[in-house]
Amino acid sequence: MDTLSRTALTALAPASWGTTYLVTTEFLPSGYPLVSGVIRALPAGLILLAITRKVPHGKWLWRSLLLGTLNIGALFALLFVAAYRLPGGIAATLTAVQPLIVVGLAFLLLNERPTRWRLGWGLAGVVGVGLIVLRGRLTFDLLGILAGIAAASVMAGGIVLTKRWGRPEGAGAATIAGWQLTAGGLVLVPLALAFEGLPPGLDLRAIGGYTWLSVVGALLSYLVWFQGIGKLPVVAVSFLALLSPIVATILGWLFLGESLTQWQGVGFVLALTAIGAAQLNPGVVRNLVRVPVTTKGE
């Protein structure tokens, strides 16, 4: 598979995560972010464990626990808290700073020097996402804001550490996804039981929402996501996460009757340009735009 095809396949993961905001607000019972995180992660992880029949051992026991906490447990809980408490896509804007955090962590942990190219496009992506989702009268909730920023931070840490540690010999993306989804779900179980308890009852609408988040938003999406992290540059992959708020806004327009303004159109173009430009090496871009010089007589 070439780089372009692999990037397009990996992009399906954050695109599916963009459905989380619609599903959470329209299908799930309110007030259960931790329970929602458990239901999304743990069944998917156990299914993958049953399929791969591999469990972590040695140093991969604590590595899987840490990565599962960052990539799954803490991330899911924080995203659900932000989605419940922040209206109008503000949570999506906060998590859009994740590529910039990845740039810094990649320098510290992977010795990948930050470039002005990707730093610039990282800022452009944040501005683009802001233009897309910040509209109308805003309501700021301190806990929701902290949850959104924390979600971006733990996801960035999980991406960089996943790239740094790679995977044990013989372990594919399905194995890694199974380990981390299971670990992340198990971390959330005691917290969910202690602070929330079980929802009083789930109707077919809630069951459908949880099924979508678990199968598409966890099992399938993390298969392609971890495959992409292993094969693509870590900073370039982090920019694909900007697709999540873009998809969330499109779904709001299609299903919730939310209007789109001219400034949102500018935001779409800016965010998508940032995602695409981050996949390129600036040297390649210069070669593409360079006008060939011909000598006299040619």
Interval 219-236: pLDDT, tens: 999 999 999 988 888 878
What's the whole-number mean pLDDT along residues 13-19?
90
In this structure, is residue 195 part of a structural domain?
yes
Closest CA relative to residue 90, chosen from 42, 168, 143: 143
In this structure, is residue 90 part of a structural domain?
yes
- Whether the Cβ atoms of residue 261 and residue 125 lie closer than 8 Å to each other: no
In this structure, is residue 49 part of a structural domain?
yes
In this structure, is residue 294 part of a structural domain?
no
Does residue 74 register a pLDDT over 60? Answer: yes
**What is the model's pLDDT at position 86?**
67
- Whether the Cβ atoms of residue 113 and residue 124 lie closer than 8 Å to each other: no
What percentage of the chain exceeds 70 in pLDDT? 86
In this structure, is residue 292 part of a structural domain?
no
| Neighbour count for residue 190 (Cβ, 10 Å) | 11
In this structure, is residue 295 part of a structural domain?
no
What's the whole-number mean pLDDT along residues 138-148?
73
Closest CA relative to residue 229, chosen from 221, 217, 238, 220: 238
User: What is the amino acid identity at position 264?
Assistant: Q
pLDDT tens digits, one per residue of 76-120: 888 777 767 765 456 666 667 788 888 888 888 888 777 787 778
In this structure, is residue 293 part of a structural domain?
no
- Whether the Cβ atoms of residue 254 and residue 18 lie closer than 8 Å to each other: no
Mean per-residue pLDDT over the chain, rounded: 83
What's the whole-number mean pLDDT along residues 211-218?
95
In this structure, is residue 291 part of a structural domain?
no
Please state the domain count of the chain. Answer: 1
- Joined together, the tokens standing for residue 156 give 């960035």
Range of the domain at 86: 3-284
